[in-house]
Structure 1
Amino acid sequence: MDWSGNVTRSVSKPHGQNLFLQSLVEEGQNPSTSNGASNSQKSVEDKDLVDCLENGVNFWTDYSKVQYHPQSLYELHGSWTDFDKFDNYGSAQEVVSDWSQIEEMNERLRFFVEECDHIQGIQFIVGDSGSFSSVAAQFLENIADDYTNTPVLLYCVRDPMTLGSSRMNQRESIMRALHDAVSFSKLSSFCNLMVPIGPPSLIRSYMSPYLYIQDEKPFHASAVCAAAIHSITVPFRLQRTGPSSDLAHSSGNLDIGELLHILSDQGRQNMVTALDVAMPAPSLTGGQRTSISQVKDSVCSVYEARETKPKFSHLSASLCPLPVPLPFPSIFRGNIGRHGEILSDHAEESQPKGSLDIESILMAARLRSSSTVLPFIERRSGSLQKHGVARGAIGSLVLRDWGFGREEVDDMGEHLAKLLRPFHPEMDLTSDSD
């Protein structure tokens, strides 16, 4: 049957490149021109780039300067037109039910796995506040089936602004609570260790004396998340040495499987881990360069002085600080020096600092198997029981619309209850593993 009626064609305007992306293209085409620019001209140009990034970032592609492999990026077909509605677990049913799309994602991962001589594990980052958690759960399930003995480390990140519920009506609030519960249950079912990243408000967090973060700018929050992930994964990239040998520039190599064993296998069976970050970390030697042995001695002395000591711990250290190049956002307060030192006697400036003022910072990050994560798990388990499982729960219709039958909802509730059991008082889990 042929259509004989009128045809209306709608073409969206391409998202234009900002000044920062334009400068990258120009540098790639004329490297000699950019290298030959005077310092004064370069500083003026860099200031314009900083202003552009601070005020004009709408998407992650606005500040990414990575050259991606053609197999690295995959567009979810049929979802981009309704992206604003892609905000709950059920919105992605069209994507996850299209097996051809899921299989294409599997093939792209398989391409990179086959390029590896040895795979120590898979690190997976997902924004779990919207429907991407549903897509990720389906992808992780396939990974668990295809790579049975490969450890999977999952980072769940979210925008601080998505955590506020003051403007939600009752139905929206219930949907948000159910989304968090279902997302957590599904994602945790297909990974070996989960690391939630993203405090409710970065601007009010313990890092606020040193960072100037606007919660409404994901560009700011993503920089902190990226710095945290970069720091806690340093052990995976260190050179492997003998059990008792240390290099002058690094110490404490660890692969993903060994990390999972330390944090979740030591009789605790706790696969949700707390992340602590000091950004920037305080100097141990009053601004002087610190040696690996000084770092180890300082950290060990702090642990020895604690009233409650961890059952297990592992320390990794590297003399390489975290670089702060463009396009890193201007999120540091005036009491941070050029190399990340904390200037205690420095008057706080009104303008935040960024890559034009700071070259690098010291970082300290810690993963803990601790009861700190208990409220995180309890809140999600309680939400599912209250809004989805209890008799007459008004959220049961929402779960049904998302494609979940009663038996599957009960299974999710049992899985969340299982995650709570290691924290039961008679399990005697009073100390941490770091």
Structure 2
Amino acid sequence: MKEIVSIQVGDYANFLGSHFWNFQDELLGLADSPDADPAFKKHNFDMDAIYRIGETHQGIQTYTPRLLSIGFQGSLGSVSSRGTLYGERASVKQDVNTWNGHVAREESKPVKKNLFLQSLYEEEQETTAVVNSGNNWENPSNSEIQDKDIVKCLENGVQYWTDFSKVHYHHQSLYELNGMWMDVENFNHYATGRDVFSEGFRGEEINERLRFFIEECDHVQGVQLVVDDHGGFAGVAGEFLENIADDYSNLPVLLFSVRRPGLKVSNTLQKLSRSLHDAVSFSRLSAYCKLIIPIGLPSLSSSKASRYLRIKDENLYHTSAIYASAFHSVSLPLRMEPLGPTKTSNDASGPLDMNEIAHLLAGQGRQNIVATLDAAIPASFSGNLINQCLDKLHPLTPETAEDVEDSQATECMVVHGALKSGLQRASVSEVQEAVQAAYENAVAIPRFSHLSVSQCPLPIPLPFPSIFGSTIGQHGELLPSSSSSESRSPLDVHSIPMAARLRSSRSILPFLENRLTNLRKYGLNQGAAGSELLRSWGFERDDVVDIGETLSKLVSTLDPHSGMLSDSDSD
């Protein structure tokens, strides 16, 4: 086993992570359920790669994500930063009074659990009571919470990412930036996050928590990090990544840089600040990871990826579920069990570790690879697998070029839970043959493509949002067209087939060129309007030139003839 340490930095990253860990929890439950689809019982995923075994102070065994989550103070809602398994630290009573003047005391009321969290608590209380009574316990309470009421509650009332989290967390996992509360208006660019990380003992405390998870691993594979990159959390992640590079120089990092839809700027100054932040953030983050994948369309609801879905762009609970589904899929090869003497390729094939993925996508010696993420949600291949498996993949990475021919393109694709007709699942070999045939008939063929396949679909847990269109069936199959505009909930859709792809190609060039062009225009050219703003962020001229050179190298790797940043440009 090669362990993975997961890191989530920022509010939206934690929304995505909450869905991701719900998927894992659902997989664990279905694997032990006698009534579950057989595909969930033999999924061939090594859950120990991302989970850790431990125990509470009372000696009770725990199984929790190997996770470090970073967010604002107050962003955990009704959940304690100590998690739900280990209890609170005993408070120290202060009897010494050193102030004789008037004292005004203000207390914030604890956030109440919503119906979903209440139902989890009641279920755990019942389980504990049954165990303690030798299975003879009877429930004296009639306060049953209906699933349909939970679905309605979540659709209308998710405020915190913990509101829909069904997972127990280790007491080292949830880190709040003390003194930084939610909705801090000025926490809106890279430099603010950099300064917050460096203030007081925050950096040391965060590093220590990461060290806790890494040092208990036997053969750590690497770090998968998700960062909310649109504001100061990019700076927090950038400083953290620099420390990781210093302390664990050989540890690969796969970075998913996510951004919520619908972010708008209302004036020229905000546009200038956003443009410079995007350039600085991407340059700094990409410098400290093996692979960076930008995620986040300006409008997810109107994208091709949402063809069968009913998404509200302003609803973080909705949009993060889509990105989490794709994140789950492309990261499956990292925790697939390798085939051994007692295993066959009938259920899954194509495991990779982080170094292998980075190496495969590097092509001809590319470093600090930028990849795009494409997904089919759901990947309903019923009918003709060959013609559909590639056409249904649509980008979740913004500012990409479509239909770009790149003879040096490389990719890693994952297909899991594919249906070939009705509710019959395609075998691993059938999917492999279909994808191979599709590429033989494609106009543009990548230089190298790796395929990972599993028969296990994406499970849809109860706290998943009601975002499926009326044409999606219980197992993700396509139903006859319907005029209904109502969305289907996780009570109606239990699993879906998925396809996702990481691709290193020239299609990412517009994304990179936009950031480089804006840096030159607003920060490097003589008399640039943003030079003073960058200086106020702590970036001197030489620092900005270095940022530009990093972006220029990323562009020239994909397009050697671009010549986008010359010495004359930066004078």
TM-score by length of 2: 0.70
Residues 240-277 of structure 1, C-alpha deviations (whole Å, 9 max, x = no match): 1269x952110001111100000025334461101100
Given that 1:123 and 1:153 are in contact with CA atoms closer than 8 Å, whether structure 2 keeps it comes out as yes
Paired amino acid for 1:339 = H
Q: Please name the residue that 1:300 is paired with.
A: 436
Quote the offset at 1:11 in angstroms. 2.3
Q: Please name the residue that 1:320 is paired with.
A: 456
* Rounded Cα–Cα distance in structure 2 between residues aligned with 1:115 and 1:361: 35
* Rounded Cα–Cα distance in structure 2 between residues aligned with 1:348 and 1:263: 43
Where does the alignment leave 5 or more consecutive residues of structure 2 unmatched?
1-97, 131-136, 386-419, 563-571
Given that 1:279 and 1:364 are in contact with CA atoms closer than 8 Å, whether structure 2 keeps it comes out as yes
* Rounded Cα–Cα distance in structure 2 between residues aligned with 1:210 and 1:32: 41
Given that 1:220 and 1:329 are in contact with CA atoms closer than 8 Å, whether structure 2 keeps it comes out as yes
Q: Please name the residue that 1:335 is paired with.
A: 471
Quote the offset at 1:364 in angstroms. 0.2
Q: Please name the residue that 2:481 is paired with.
A: 346
Distance 1:274 1:81, change over 3 A: closer
Of Structure 1 and Structure 2, which has the larger fraction of its residues in strand? 2
Given that 2:258 and 2:295 are in contact with CA atoms closer than 8 Å, whether structure 1 keeps it comes out as yes
Residues 146-205 of structure 1, C-alpha deviations (whole Å, 9 max, x = no match): 11111110001111022x33xx10001101111111111111111110011121111011
Residues 393-426 of structure 1, C-alpha deviations (whole Å, 9 max, x = no match): 2211221221111111111111111111112255
Q: Is the deviation greater in 135-144 or in 246-255?
A: 246-255
Quote the offset at 1:99 in angstroms. 5.3
Q: Please name the residue that 1:58 is paired with.
A: 159
Given that 1:185 and 1:416 are in contact with CA atoms closer than 8 Å, whether structure 2 keeps it comes out as yes
Q: How do residues 75-86 of structure 1 correspond to structure 2 at under 5 angstroms? A: 75-80=176-181, 83-86=184-187
Distance 1:81 1:269, change over 3 A: closer
* Rounded Cα–Cα distance in structure 2 between residues aligned with 1:176 and 1:381: 13
Q: Please name the residue that 1:6 is paired with.
A: 102
Paired amino acid for 1:398 = L
Residues 219-258 of structure 1, C-alpha deviations (whole Å, 9 max, x = no match): 0011011111100011111111269x95211000111110
Distance 1:36 1:385, change over 3 A: farther
* Rounded Cα–Cα distance in structure 1 between residues aligned with 2:559 and 2:510: 13
Q: Please name the residue that 1:27 is paired with.
A: 123
Paired amino acid for 1:29 = Q
Given that 2:292 and 2:368 are in contact with CA atoms closer than 8 Å, whether structure 1 keeps it comes out as no
SS of equivalent residue, structure 2 residue 301:
helix
* Rounded Cα–Cα distance in structure 2 between residues aligned with 1:375 and 1:221: 23
Q: Please name the residue that 2:172 is paired with.
A: 71
Q: Please name the residue that 2:188 is paired with.
A: 87
Distance 1:360 1:33, change over 3 A: farther
Q: 2:314 aligns with which of 209, 216, 220?
A: 216
* Rounded Cα–Cα distance in structure 2 between residues aligned with 1:25 and 1:80: 27
Paired amino acid for 1:329 = P
* Rounded Cα–Cα distance in structure 2 between residues aligned with 1:109 and 1:32: 32
SS of equivalent residue, structure 1 residue 316:
strand
SS of equivalent residue, structure 1 residue 195:
strand
* Rounded Cα–Cα distance in structure 2 between residues aligned with 1:26 and 1:281: 36
TM-score by length of 1: 0.91
* Rounded Cα–Cα distance in structure 2 between residues aligned with 1:172 and 1:10: 34
* Rounded Cα–Cα distance in structure 2 between residues aligned with 1:223 and 1:7: 46
Given that 1:270 and 1:422 are in contact with CA atoms closer than 8 Å, whether structure 2 keeps it comes out as no
Q: Please name the residue that 1:229 is paired with.
A: 327
* Rounded Cα–Cα distance in structure 2 between residues aligned with 1:147 and 1:228: 28
1:124 aligns to 2:220 (yes or no): no
Residues 352-373 of structure 1, C-alpha deviations (whole Å, 9 max, x = no match): 0121101100000001001111
* Rounded Cα–Cα distance in structure 1 between residues aligned with 2:428 and 2:207: 41
Q: Is the deviation greater in 229-238 or in 14-23?
A: 14-23
Q: Please name the residue that 1:16 is paired with.
A: 112
Distance 1:330 1:143, change over 3 A: same
1:405 aligns to 2:540 (yes or no): yes
Quote the offset at 1:6 in angstroms. 3.4
Paired amino acid for 2:547 = M
Paired amino acid for 1:278 = A
Q: Please name the residue that 1:359 is paired with.
A: 494
* Rounded Cα–Cα distance in structure 2 between residues aligned with 1:281 and 1:82: 37
Q: How do residues 20-419 of structure 1 correspond to structure 2 at under 5 angstroms? A: 20-31=116-127, 45-80=146-181, 83-98=184-199, 100-162=201-263, 164-165=264-265, 168-241=266-339, 246-269=344-367, 271-283=369-381, 284=385, 285-287=420-422, 288-343=424-479, 345-419=480-554
Given that 1:324 and 1:361 are in contact with CA atoms closer than 8 Å, whether structure 2 keeps it comes out as yes
* Rounded Cα–Cα distance in structure 2 between residues aligned with 1:395 and 1:13: 43
Given that 1:248 and 1:292 are in contact with CA atoms closer than 8 Å, whether structure 2 keeps it comes out as yes
Distance 1:27 1:85, change over 3 A: farther
Quote the offset at 1:383 in angstroms. 1.3
* Rounded Cα–Cα distance in structure 2 between residues aligned with 1:381 and 1:393: 14
Quote the offset at 1:5 in angstroms. 4.7
Given that 2:194 and 2:238 are in contact with CA atoms closer than 8 Å, whether structure 1 keeps it comes out as no
Q: Is the deviation greater in 93-102 or in 199-208?
A: 93-102
RMSD (CA atoms): 2.3
Given that 2:506 and 2:559 are in contact with CA atoms closer than 8 Å, whether structure 1 keeps it comes out as no
Residues 375-395 of structure 1, C-alpha deviations (whole Å, 9 max, x = no match): 111111111111111222221
Of Structure 1 and Structure 2, which has the larger fraction of its residues in helix? 1
Given that 1:270 and 1:369 are in contact with CA atoms closer than 8 Å, whether structure 2 keeps it comes out as no
- Identity across the alignment (%): 52
Paired amino acid for 1:157 = V
* Rounded Cα–Cα distance in structure 1 between residues aligned with 2:168 and 2:153: 21
Given that 1:324 and 1:354 are in contact with CA atoms closer than 8 Å, whether structure 2 keeps it comes out as no
SS of equivalent residue, structure 2 residue 227:
strand
SS of equivalent residue, structure 2 residue 449:
coil
Given that 1:333 and 1:348 are in contact with CA atoms closer than 8 Å, whether structure 2 keeps it comes out as no
Quote the offset at 1:79 in angstroms. 1.3
* Rounded Cα–Cα distance in structure 2 between residues aligned with 1:81 and 1:278: 33
Given that 1:333 and 1:352 are in contact with CA atoms closer than 8 Å, whether structure 2 keeps it comes out as yes
Given that 2:229 and 2:258 are in contact with CA atoms closer than 8 Å, whether structure 1 keeps it comes out as yes
Residues 26-55 of structure 1, C-alpha deviations (whole Å, 9 max, x = no match): 111123899999xxx97x711110111011
Q: Is the deviation greater in 293-302 or in 283-292?
A: 283-292
